[in-house]
Amino acid sequence: MDPVASQDAGEALAAVAHARRQVAEEIGLPRGYWWAMAAGWVVLGVIGEFGPSWLVIVATVLFGAGHAALASRLLDGRRGSDGVRVSAVVAGHRTPYVVVGMLVLLVALTVAAALLIDADGAGHAALWAAVVVAAVVGFGGPEILRTLRRWVRA
């Protein structure tokens, strides 16, 4: 084997680090996950607007349990594509925390939107707020998660 110059070794290590960052950027949850969550958000809004309070509680618990079951399979952050399985070291251990934090922020956004819509005098404020947040989740979920992961270096 020929000796490797320190500059060549440094360039090779930089290339490896760059490739690792690129793979980590691709990690996320499938688009279908976000649309399923958006649909659930709208269903909860409909139930909250038109259903009895006991049904709202049951539906919220079932939505949370369903999300937890699905998330337990997907939130390890290691499903970049069907053909690649990334190690947990590359995926980062903070991804589940970022997703849970994002969900808490989305709930806060829903409540704030419902209060603003209600203050404006519009009818069915909870439903409209759920639709607005569902649109944000469905269309922007992967991009929001990617940005939040980058901010917290997950």
pLDDT in tens, 14-68: 887 777 666 655 566 778 888 988 999 899 999 988 999 899 899 988 888 887 7
Domain membership of residue 52 as a residue range: 6-151
What is the gyration radius of the CA atoms in the chain, in angstroms?
20
Total number of domains in the chain: 1
Instruction: Determine the Cα–Cα distance for residues 141 and 101; give it in Å rounded to an integer.
Output: 13
Whole-number Cα distances in Å, 122 to 51, 80, 109, 114: 19, 42, 17, 10
pLDDT above 90 as % of the chain: 18
User: Residue 1 domain-assigned?
Assistant: no
Model pTM greater than 0.75?
no
User: Residue 95 domain-assigned?
Assistant: yes
pLDDT at 27: 61
Q: What's the pLDDT band for 129 if we cut at 50, 70, 90?
A: very high
Weakest-pLDDT range from 4-8, 82-86, 137-141, 147-151: 82-86
User: Residue 78 domain-assigned?
Assistant: yes
User: Residue 32 domain-assigned?
Assistant: yes
3-state helix, strand, coil in the chain (%, to 5): 75, 0, 25
Ramachandran region of residue 29, left (φ > 0), alpha (ψ -120 to 50) or beta?
Answer: beta
Instruction: Determine the Cα–Cα distance for residues 123 and 49; give it in Å rounded to an integer.
Output: 10
* Per-residue DSSP letter, 4: P
Q: What's the pLDDT band for 89 if we cut at 50, 70, 90?
A: low
